[in-house]
Every structure is written in structure tokens, then in C-alpha cells.
Amino acid sequence: MYVHDAFDRTFLQERVAEFRDQVARRLSGALTEEEFKPLRLMNGVYLQLHAYMLRVCIPYGTLNSTQLKALARVARRYDRGYGHFTTRQNIQFNWIKLAELPDAMAELAEVGIHGIQTSGNCIRNTTTDAFAGAARDEIEDPRLYAEVIRQWSTLHPEFTYLPRKFKIAITAAKHDRAATRVHDVGLRLRQRDGHTGFEVMVGGGLGRTPFIGQTIRDFLPKEDLLSYLEAILRTYNLGGRRDNIYKARVKIQVHEMGPEAFAEKVEAEWQAIRDGALRLDETAISAIADRFVNPDLPPLADHPPELTAALAEPAFARWHANSVAPHKAAGHAIVTLSLKPVGGPPGDCTADQMDAIADLADRYAYGEIRVAHEQNLVFPHVRQKDLPALWKALDAIGVATPNVGLVTDIISCPGLDYCSLANTRSIPIAQKLTERFADDARIADIGRLHVNISGCINACGHHHIGHIGILGVEKKDEEFFQITLGGKGNSKARLGELIGPAIPESEIVDAVERLVETYLELRTSPQETFIAAVERLGIEPFKERAYAPR
Amino acid sequence: MTSPLQRKLKIAGPTAITANRLADGVVVWLTAGGGWSLSIGEATVATTAEEVQRLLAIAQSDENTAVGAYAARVALTPEGHAIPVNLRERIRVGGPTITPAASPARAA
């Protein structure tokens, strides 16, 4: 965990006081809505269908138990007892009153969290691998660089009014768990000749016009990270379109210019600034690294007897198979807490669950929690011998559904039940799918399969990179859903392919089930995953079955 | 000269003006008296672009009470009360169609 210093604490307190004054002036009529709206958005406050929504930034998805308990308090005191974890590792509260927002923010500021950089045309919260600092396949903890980016980007005066929002994701692992190729900038840590640096990708993104990010620099030395990002942002800020909101993201600029021409502009700008104040020397990096307090993991052996004995129990073994990942430290494991119960809204977590999870984190996970972009939570450091007891405790509070990475681990936007932009609902589709695929043995047999659902073209549910993507469209006041197949968000990211006309709401669950059944029939073996089968066969055999009358 | 807003307005039936209450974002409906009601049944209903335009102007002049006013298609009950016709307005009137995660919430 990064520990804030006095500067950060003072800054947040002053920010809350400033927002309290702005809210008071709005409520008194001293500020017009036109004047107030950009101010609330800069603090993560949206106005949705039924109420104000507060989006709280969780920097690079890392929380400690004290912060999670603060989120639980806000959910209980100011909202309706729950929050919704998002695909950008943030949390949203759906029912907050404007007049109470400053009090809620003050409580969050006490523990170092806030809503800054969760809205508006600025550099948003940098996201990363939920397994960072624990993953066996990473070369270095990427959160250090995410924090470097946070300190550079927060309230950056030159980049507060960009053409559109700007999202950065960073990974340091072989397996990309941060979807870096579908961000405005994706950074992948690499090592070359003993030096750490980054592959830099730009122009990725989903939404109305999806693109996979293009690599514009194969290896950027780490000391040049901020100057190069500054050069990218300047290139975008000057050349990005401001005439059309739908063409204002950097992905459009990169697409229209071509990645080579974009890279040339970035390089030219970078040459002018690379040896200036933004150069990161070892002292600067160490100063930030020193403020990270990481758990002191004791030396332990893998496969302790407690774990071996528990694996004889089928229910535990099933959970262990998909919810527990290898840790870089022997005798430890990474545990994913599923926020995808059968019939539940994906990503929702009650205040009681948050409190219980915080307590369990203190007891079993060195007090640390992560938010995964798949809308689950993660305990990054758990002793393997504690896994059986932890599983029982997680199961008791409903966050041990053994479906992580499986067909019911659905990413879903809030959809029309909450969102003022949505065309259709998303959550009810996810709920029906989890009910259709409620059998644990069945979904284990189906294996890895990502279903992503968006309620509109803005694609907050990342439907383009779902193995099965579902996009809601409205036709004459009725909900219909398009299906895409073959998308994926990892290091070999690709966009799903539309399989045909939109399907009525009443038929979408059946259609998805037919796609799954087709896979089960056509796979060469249980080892061939759904996405591998789609890549081998193409969409045609799936398309025929999806539209076949039952 | 027709304003851009007027050009955009295509009124094809009964229409009410709705917005969100400034203080808490709750859905409200413009009433015949120029005030706001929590009940769509108390909304004043217009059927011509001219009338809708006039009501929108009233609504937008009161943004210290309600914000984001817009015209919403409605249907009428036999008694003449407005009811929502599309899913979006049905959800705004009736709340989310899902049961949120169950945790003890504060007293309303």
C-alpha cells in the first residue's frame, strides 16, 4: 500500500472544503447548473436516472481494510447500503444526496480516497493488474509506476481540459490482466539488457468506435516514463478533435493520422522535453517506492497439509481451481472474491459484505484488498494454509461463488436500471444468465468463458472484448441485444465479431446458451477453451445455432 | 425564426416535462401550476410542440429546484393522468427493475 504524506492529506481536506462550498453555493442558487456541473464532475459526481452517483477513485485498485470499511460506512450512512465496483477498479454509490456529498467525501478523505479523476476530460485513475505485487509472472510491481503517474497527472494544469477523457493502464506481467490494449495508453513493463522500461501502446479503446491500441515504442526506459507520457498528452491535446464528441478520443486521432505519424509527433515533442524536469531519476523513484508499505511475508512452503487435506472436499477443490492463483512467494496464494453470485447484480457489494471482507483481509490477507477490472475483489496475499478457513468465511458472506473466469463471472455495466446514457438494461440479463448457468459442475466443464454486457454503445461493460459480447440496443421502445463473438482483452486483444441481427430480450439467454452448447459439441477436447474454439472455427457454426429456433 | 431546440422537438402525442430534483436527484414532473411533483400522475400534459416548448421554458427557468428538464412521451389513463410509455421512463418512475444487493440500509 502507498501511504499518503502530509501534502496528500492536506490536499484532500482542502478539496473537500472547496467542494462543500461549491455545493452550498449551488443549493443556494449562487451557482447555476451550468457553472456547477463541471465542478461536480471533477469530483466524480454524476446525475443519473434516479439520483446523484458518486464514483470513488481507488488508485490502481488497491485498498486497505480501513479504506474498505470507510466505503462501507459511506454506503450505509449516505447511500442504500451497497456499492458497485466498476471495470476501472473504482466503486460507485448510486443514491447519494447532493447536500450530503461533502460529508461523504470528508469521511473518504480521512482514509485517503476521493472522487478526483473519475470523471471529466482529464487523465483518469490509472488502472493496473489486480494481482500486482503478488503475481508469479510479473517482472516488477507496476503500482509503483501507477503511483508515479498519479502524482504527475492529478490536477495536471495542462491536461485538465483535454478533448475527452484519457485512460491509462499498466501491467508488468506476461498475462495482461489490465486490458492495456484497450486503453488510450497501455504500458507494459519490460526488461531489456538488465534495464526496466515500457512498451507503449496508444489509441486503444472501446465505446462507439473500438480500436486495439498500437505499439508506438517498443521499449521506453523507465526514467523517461513521464516525459514520454507528457509528449503523448501534448500531441493529443493539440491535435485531438474538439468539434465532435464522438471523435474526440485519442484513438480517433491515432486512427486518422496513422500510428506511425502519431508516434513521429510524440517523438519530436519528447526530444524537446525528455531531459527536463520530468526525467525520473533513481532518487525520485525511490522516494515514492519508500512510501509503499508491503506485507512482510514469512517464509513458508507450498502445499501445506491443511490445504492438501481440504482439496479432498469437492466444493473446496472447485473453488480453489478457479478462485486461487499462484503467488510469487512460496506458501502463499492470491484469492479472488467473486462478486457474481447467482442472481445477483455483477460487481455489487453490500456494506455488511465490505465490513466482513475488511475483517477477513485483516485476519487472512495482511489487510490488503484489490479491485479487479472484472468487478471482483482480490486478496493478493493469503497463506495457503489459511485457504480452507478463508473459503468457509467467504462462502458465509456470499463471495465464494466458484465461478471466477467462468461463464457466470459476467462483466456488466449498470445499464438502464441506473444509467442515464443506457439504452437497455444489462444487469437483468446477467442475472438471468447466472441463473441459467447456476450449476457449478456445468460451468466448470464449460471452462474459461468471458461474457461481457453493455447497455449502450459506450461499452462500459466491455462487450467488444468479451468472448461473448452482448450489446443492448433499443428498437421502438423494446430491448434487443446484439451478440459479438471472439473478443478478448489480454495481450493478444481483439475485438469480437458481430454474428447477426439483434435478438429480443426474451430470447437472449437462450441464444447464449445455444452458443455454449455449440462450443461443447464442437470443441476438440475439454482443454480447448471457448475462445480457442471460436478462433479455430470462426463464427459461422456459432451463428447458425444462435439464431436457430429452439 | 425557429430555434434549434424547437426544430428538434417532434411531438407525436401526449408529452410531459420531467427533470431531477436538484437536492437529491429524485425524478420530478412539471405540474400545471408550474411546480414539481414526485408523481407522474400529476404532470401537466401537452400535445403540441409550441405548448411543450412553453412548458420546457418554465421548467428550465426553475433550475434551482430541478435540473436537466426534458420532454418525455407519456400515455394517458382514462382519467387523463400521465403514465410512462417507454422503458426508460418506466424505470425512472418505478425505480430499478432489479433487487439491489440486500444490506441493512439507513432509515429512509
pLDDT digits (tens, 9 = 90+) for A215-256: 999 999 999 999 999 999 999 999 999 999 999 999 999 999
Distance CA A545, CA A543 (A): 5
Contact check, Cβ <8 Å, A98/B64: no
Residue B21 lies in a domain: yes
* Closest chain B residue by Cα to residue A339: B101
Please tell me the predicted confidence (pLDDT) of residue A1. 76
* Residues 128 through 147 of chain A touching chain B, CB cutoff 8 Å: none
Q: Which residues of A touch B64 (CB under 8 A)?
A: 29
Residue B100 lies in a domain: no
pLDDT digits (tens, 9 = 90+) for A467-480: 999 999 999 999 99
Residue A434 lies in a domain: yes
Q: Does B12 touch chain A (CB under 8 A)?
A: no
Angle, in degrees to the nearest 10, between helices A508-522 and A530-537:
80
Interstrand relation of B27-30 and B36-37 (parallel, antiparallel or unpaired): antiparallel
Q: Does A104 touch chain B (CB under 8 A)?
A: no
Contact check, Cβ <8 Å, A50/B106: no
Residue B52 lies in a domain: yes
With a pLDDT cut of 90, the percent of chain A lying above it is 97
Contact check, Cβ <8 Å, B25/A98: yes
Residue A177 lies in a domain: yes
Residue A294 lies in a domain: no
* A453 and A506 both lie in a single domain: yes
Residue A223 lies in a domain: yes
* A150 and A285 both lie in a single domain: yes
Distance CA A337, CA A393 (A): 11
Contact of A258 with A214, CB cutoff 8 Å: no
pLDDT digits (tens, 9 = 90+) for A379-415: 999 999 999 999 999 999 999 999 999 999 999 999 9
DSSP, collapsed to helix, strand or coil, labels residue B63 as coil
Q: Does A479 touch chain B (CB under 8 A)?
A: yes
Is B46's pLDDT higher than 50? Answer: yes
CB-facing half-sphere around the CA of A138: CA atoms within 13 A = 24
Nearest neighbour of A97 by CB, restricted to B24, B63, B68: B24
Phi, psi (rounded to 5 degrees) for A231: -65, -40
Is A293's pLDDT higher than 70? Answer: yes
Min CA distance, A348 vs chain B (Å)? 6
Please tell me the predicted confidence (pLDDT) of residue B4. 43
Q: How confident is the model at residue B102 (pLDDT cuts 50, 70, 90)?
A: low
CA distances from A419 to A175, A252, A307, A359 (A): 32, 25, 44, 32
Which residues partner with B50 through β-bridges? none
A385 Cβ contact list (under 8 Å, min separation 6): A300, A304, A305, A306, A307, A331
Nearest neighbour of A47 by CB, restricted to B68, B91, B105: B68
Range of the domain at B47: 4-94
Q: How confident is the model at residue A6 (pLDDT cuts 50, 70, 90)?
A: confident
A405-430 in b/e form (b: 16+ CB < 10 A) is: bbbbbbbbbbbbbbbebbbbbbbbbb
Nearest neighbour of B67 by CB, restricted to A33, A349, A351: A33
Look up cell 458518486; give the residue.
A54
Please tell me the predicted confidence (pLDDT) of residue B8. 64
Contact check, Cβ <8 Å, A428/B97: yes
Cβ count near A241 (within 10 Å): 16
Distance CA A379, CA A263 (A): 39
Contact check, Cβ <8 Å, B98/A77: no
Q: Supply the CATH number for residue A537's domain.
A: 3.30.413.10
Contact check, Cβ <8 Å, B97/A81: no
**First CA to last CA distance, chain B:** 49
**DSSP run (H or E) holding A206:** none
CA distances from A227 to A169, A230, A273 (A): 17, 5, 6
Residue B103 lies in a domain: no
Contact of A489 with A180, CB cutoff 8 Å: no
Cβ count near A471 (within 10 Å): 26
Contact check, Cβ <8 Å, B103/A26: no
Please tell me the predicted confidence (pLDDT) of residue B6. 47
Contact check, Cβ <8 Å, A50/B95: yes
Q: Which residues of B touch A417 (CB under 8 A)?
A: 91, 96-98
Interstrand relation of B66-76 and B15-21 (parallel, antiparallel or unpaired): antiparallel
Please tell me the predicted confidence (pLDDT) of residue B10. 80
* A391 and A509 both lie in a single domain: no
**C-alpha cell, A474:** 433499443
* A373 and A423 both lie in a single domain: no
Q: Which of A252, A287, A395 is nearest to A337 (CA)?
A: A395
pLDDT digits (tens, 9 = 90+) for A166-183: 999 999 999 999 999 999
Distance CA A383, CA A406 (A): 24
Q: Does A64 touch chain B (CB under 8 A)?
A: no
Distance CA A302, CA B81 (A): 69
Please tell me the predicted confidence (pLDDT) of residue B100. 74
A291-302 in b/e form (b: 16+ CB < 10 A) is: eeeebebeeeee
Residues in chain A: 550
**C-alpha cell, A280:** 525520473
* A358 and A445 both lie in a single domain: no
Q: Does A335 touch chain B (CB under 8 A)?
A: no
Q: How confident is the model at residue B99 (pLDDT cuts 50, 70, 90)?
A: confident
Residue B28 lies in a domain: yes
Alpha-carbon torsion (A360, A412, A247, B89), positive or negative = negative
Please tell me the predicted confidence (pLDDT) of residue B101. 67
- What value does the mean pLDDT of chain A take? 96
* A417 and A392 both lie in a single domain: no
Question: Domain total for chain B?
Answer: 1
Cβ count near A483 (within 10 Å): 27
* A153 and A265 both lie in a single domain: yes
A44-81 in b/e form (b: 16+ CB < 10 A) is: bbbbbbbbbbbbbbbbbbbbbbebbbbbbbbbbbbbbb
Distance CA A479, CA A36 (A): 34
Residue B50 lies in a domain: yes
A-B contacts (CB, under 8 Å)? 100
* A416 and A529 both lie in a single domain: yes
Residue A460 lies in a domain: yes
Q: Which residues of B touch A424 (CB under 8 A)?
A: 87
Nearest neighbour of B96 by CB, restricted to A52, A76, A418: A418
**C-alpha cell, A482:** 446484439
Q: Supply the CATH number for residue A334's domain.
A: 3.90.480.20
Residue B104 lies in a domain: no
Q: Which residues of B touch A51 (CB under 8 A)?
A: 20, 24-26
Residue B39 lies in a domain: yes
* A217 and A260 both lie in a single domain: yes
* Residues 81 through 100 of chain B touching chain A, CB cutoff 8 Å: 85-88, 91-92, 95-98, 100
Please tell me the predicted confidence (pLDDT) of residue A37. 96
Distance CA A269, CA A230 (A): 9
Interstrand relation of B15-21 and A377-383 (parallel, antiparallel or unpaired): unpaired
* A190 and A240 both lie in a single domain: yes
Residue A152 lies in a domain: yes
Q: Does A79 touch chain B (CB under 8 A)?
A: yes
Across A519-531, average pLDDT:
98
* A75 and A146 both lie in a single domain: no
Q: DSSP readout, A39-52?
A: HHHTTTEEE-SSSE
Look up cell 465479431; give the residue.
A497
Question: Domain total for chain A?
Answer: 4
Is B104's pLDDT higher than 90? Answer: no
Q: Which residues of B touch A49 (CB under 8 A)?
A: 27, 88, 91-92
* Closest chain B residue by Cα to residue A81: B105
Residue A296 lies in a domain: no
* A187 and A241 both lie in a single domain: yes
Contact check, Cβ <8 Å, B25/A48: yes
Residue A120 lies in a domain: no
Contact of A539 with A468, CB cutoff 8 Å: no
Distance CA A64, CA A5 (A): 16
Amino acid present at A267:
E
Contact of A416 with B88, CB cutoff 8 Å: yes
pLDDT digits (tens, 9 = 90+) for A330-343: 999 999 999 999 99
Q: Which of A392, A404, A408 is nearest to A336 (CA)?
A: A404
Range of the domain at A534: 411-546
Please tell me the predicted confidence (pLDDT) of residue A334. 98
Please tell me the predicted confidence (pLDDT) of residue A5. 84
